[in-house]
Structure 1
Amino acid sequence: MACRITELVLDCRDPEGLAAFWCEVLGYVVLERPDDGSVEIGPEKTGAGWLQPTLVLSPAEEPRSGKLRLHIDVNATDRDQDAELDRLLALGARPADVGQTGEESWHVLADPEGNEFCLLRRRVDA
C-alpha cells in the first residue's frame, strides 16, 4: 500500500486572508479553524476516498523567505486560460518572474503573500 497526499501546509502571516484567496481560487471552503490560528480549507466533498488534498494555512511570524521548493499548479475548470488569468489577477494574484522565457504555456503568479503558483493551459474537469 502506498501513501497519498492529504494536506499541504503553507506558513503565512495572515491565515484568514490567504484562506479567503485560495478558497476563491480553488472553489474550496473553510473546513476547520484549529485553536493554533491555522485555517484548513478544502473541497466540500471530503472524507474517505476523496483524492484532493486540503490546504492548511498555518500562522508564522517569519514565513520562509526565498524560493519555495514546492509550488502549486492550477488548471481552469470552466473557462480558458486567458479568462482564468484575468480572474486570478482580479482576486489579488500578481505576475511573478522566475526566469521565464515568454514561450511557456503557463503563467507564473504569486498569491497575496508572495507564494508562487502556476496557471497551466489545460482545462480539467471540476
Structure 2
Amino acid sequence: MACELVAITFDVDDPVGVARFWAALLGREVVDDALGLRVLGTAAQVGLGFERATTPRGEAPELVHLHLTSDGVGQDTTVARVLDLGGRHLDVGQRPEEGHVVLADPAGDALCVLEEGNRFTAGCGPLGEVACDGLREVGVFWSEALGWPLVWDDDGETAVQSPHGGTKIAWGGPPVAPRAGRGRQRFTLLAVGDHGAEADRLVSLGATRSADGGLADPAGDELVLLSPV
C-alpha cells in the first residue's frame, strides 16, 4: 500500500457547521490542517472531510451516503440524536417495512440509521458503512488501491474494509447513476512516499488522468491524492 485514506470528502455550503454536526454525532474531533477540514477517523473508522460547495445541489451527482449503526444504543435513540443535532427526516421512497430510517444531515446529505442486529455492519462501529454507487470493478480497484480486503463480492456488489476492521465501504452494483460532472463526494488520499509514483500506481490499477492532471477511479469519479506533509 502506498496511500492512505484520509477521508470521504463532501461538498457542502457550511463546511464548519456540518463538520461539527458529524463530530458531535460520532464523538470525534474536528481538525483543519494541511490535509483539510475533517472529522478525524481512526484505523477502524473512516474519516469525513468537508469542503465548500462550488456547484448548487442538484447540479452534481450525489454518489455516496453514510450508514450509522445502532447496536447497543437503539435505533430510536440514534435517530433522536441525529434530529437533536440538526438532522431531519428524508423521504427517498423508502417502504414502511424497511428496517432502516432515512435522515439527512444539516447539509441535506442522506444518512441511514440501521436497525439493531444488522448483520452486514455487525462489529463495524458507529459509522458502519459508506454506501457508494458503482460497479464491481470499482470495489476491486479500491481494494487494491488501499490494500483493504474485499470482504463482500456477490452479484456485482462489493465491499472493502480496513485490515483493522470497522467501517465498510460498499458499492451497490448495477444499475448505476449516470455521471454528469464533478460529484459532491470524493475519496481523499494521502500518498505514502513519492506522489508521482503513487499516482502512476493508481493509474496502473485502473484510475484515469484528467486533462488537468487530476485522477478518477474506474467509474470516472474524482479522487484526490495529496502529497506527503
Quick check: TM above 0.5? Answer: yes
- The yes-or-no answer on 1:40 pairing with 2:53 is no
Q: Which secondary structure does the structure 1 equivalent of 2:50 belong to?
A: strand
Q: 2:89 aligned to 90, 95, 103, which one?
A: 95
- CA-to-aligned-CA distance 1:21-49 (integer Å, 9 cap, x gap): 010111121133449xx511124xx4xxx
Aligned residue type for 1:10: F
Moved over 3 A (4+): 3-6, 123-126
Indicate the residue corresponding to 2:205 in structure 1: none
Select between 55-64 and 99-108 the one with higher mean Cα deviation.
55-64
Indicate the residue corresponding to 1:10 in structure 2: 10
Partners in 2 of 1:26 and 1:57 — Cα distance? 15
Unmatched runs of 5 consecutive residues or more in structure 1: none
TM-score, normalisation: structure 1 = 0.79
Q: Cα offset for 1:70?
A: 1.3
Indicate the residue corresponding to 1:26 in structure 2: 26
Q: Cα offset for 1:90?
A: 0.8
Select between 72-81 and 8-17 the one with higher mean Cα deviation.
72-81
Partners in 1 of 2:12 and 2:25 — Cα distance? 17
State the percentage of identical aligned residues.
34
- CA-to-aligned-CA distance 1:79-111 (integer Å, 9 cap, x gap): 111111111111111000000111110000011
TM-score, normalisation: structure 2 = 0.46
Aligned residue pairs total: 119
Higher RCO (CA 8 Å, separation ≥ 6 residues): 1
Indicate the residue corresponding to 1:80 in structure 2: 74
Query: Residue 106 and residue 39 in structure 1: after superposition, are their counterparts in 2 closer, same or farther (change >3 A)?
Result: same
Q: Which secondary structure does the structure 1 equivalent of 2:64 belong to?
A: coil
Aligned pairs for 1:99-118 (under 5 A) are: 99-118=93-112
Indicate the residue corresponding to 2:142 in structure 1: none
Query: Higher Cα Rg: structure 1 or 2?
Result: 2
- The Cα RMSD (Å) is 2.6
Query: Residue 6 and residue 52 in structure 1: after superposition, are their counterparts in 2 closer, same or farther (change >3 A)?
Result: farther
Aligned residue type for 1:42: L
Looking at secondary structure, tell me which structure has more strand per residue.
2
Partners in 2 of 1:63 and 1:12 — Cα distance? 9
Unmatched runs of 5 consecutive residues or more in structure 2: 118-122, 127-229
